[in-house]
Amino acid sequence: MKEIKNNFLERLWEMVIKPYQVPPLLELLRCLNQRFELPPDERQQYINLEKGHEGEQKFSVLLENLTNDCLILHSLLLKCNNTLFQIDALLIFENMIYLVDVKYYEGDFYIDSDNWYTLSKKEVHNPVLQLNRCVSLFRRLLQKYGVTLPVKGYALFNHPEFTLYHAAPELPIILPTQINRFMKQLHKISSKTNNKHMQLAQKLLSDHRDESPYTHLPAYSYEQVKKGIVCASCHSLLTSLIGSRVICNGCGKEEKVDDAVLRSIKEFMMLFPDRRITTNAILEWCKIVKSRNTVRRILGKYFTIKGHGNYAYYVNSDQKDDE
Ligand SMILES: [Zn+2]
């Protein structure tokens, strides 16, 4: 379990117990998308993840401005009664927990007898039903923990171009034009969290599950994936090596060869966690770098060598022993 600072006397404002991070599946799909033609379903999934990420990241930035005493956890995946459920953001105040589902819908939507549609009449999942399901599972989980704090759930729509027609005012939703007011309300909450709140946050953190992103990827093989160094700025493979700099012929971005190769090694490790990192493997992977010495030098600088001669390979420097 992660260590958390326990000094309450010094703490005057919010504490982010679990910060927002780019979802691992999104990171993988970003990598793969540059080098491999994603099948239509996965491509759509990738686009949706990028949008969801944009919304959640924007909301996490807003929460950074909170100055009152509360504990914040982002992106939790929890299980209650054998059902998995996901929480985008959880704000634990002294006397109330806010559960916020962030929706980054774009465009015009309307509600017709509890169903949600786009203006072109395409039905979408009812976000309020999703929210209610999530809140009710979370309440049950709190019961199991023996925690009696009340929970308020909101679906927060933070795309600036989202419009919703026929919405009843009592719905637990926050529209783009209401976000400032919602944040002001949060600011005004008088709260002093204590050890019990911190224990709850720790319990949630330890019950959080990290889902393996690999189960959601399309099938791809090493041979199918394009080799080369992806531009750090426009993500194209239009890069070439000139002297000690990698230069993009698409957007003009320049990067030091060390940085570009290190970035590419990390992509290689993400996409092919079972393949060994050797000088030859990285030479082939980076393609535009022809110098064995350059690759060996970079590997030697950032990784730990194992084995000898032709059997040498590299592991992460913090990895003590992998077999
Ligand atoms: Zn570029």
Task: Give the Å distance between the CA of 263 and the centre of ligand 1.
Answer: 14
Q: How does the average pLDDT of the chain come out, rounded?
A: 92
List pLDDT tens digits, range 237-290: 999 999 999 999 999 999 999 999 999 999 999 999 999 999 999 999 999 999
225 C-alpha to center of ligand 1: Å?
A: 19
Alpha helices in the chain (DSSP H): 24-35, 40-63, 127-145, 179-188, 195-207, 257-271, 279-286, 292-302
The predicted-structure confidence for 106-137, as pLDDT tens digits, reads as follows: 999 999 999 999 999 999 999 999 999 999 99
Q: How far is the CA of 250 from the centre of ligand 1 (A)?
A: 5
How many angstroms separate the alpha carbon of residue 291 from the centre of ligand 1?
A: 22
How far is the centre of ligand 1, averaged over its atoms, from the C-alpha of 281 (Å)? 24
Alpha carbon of 241 to ligand 1 centroid (Å): 13
The pLDDT value recorded for residue 2 is 42
CA of 267 to the centre of ligand 1 (A): 17
Q: Which residue has the tokens 């027609």?
A: 165
- Ligand 1 centre to CA of 45 (Å) is 24
pTM above 0.75, yes or no: yes
159 CA to centre of ligand 1 in angstroms: 28
Short-list 40, 15, 164, 178, CA closest to 93: 15
Residues in the chain, pLDDT under 70: 1-14, 319-323
Query: On the CB side of 268, how many CA atoms lie within 13 Å of its CA?
Result: 27
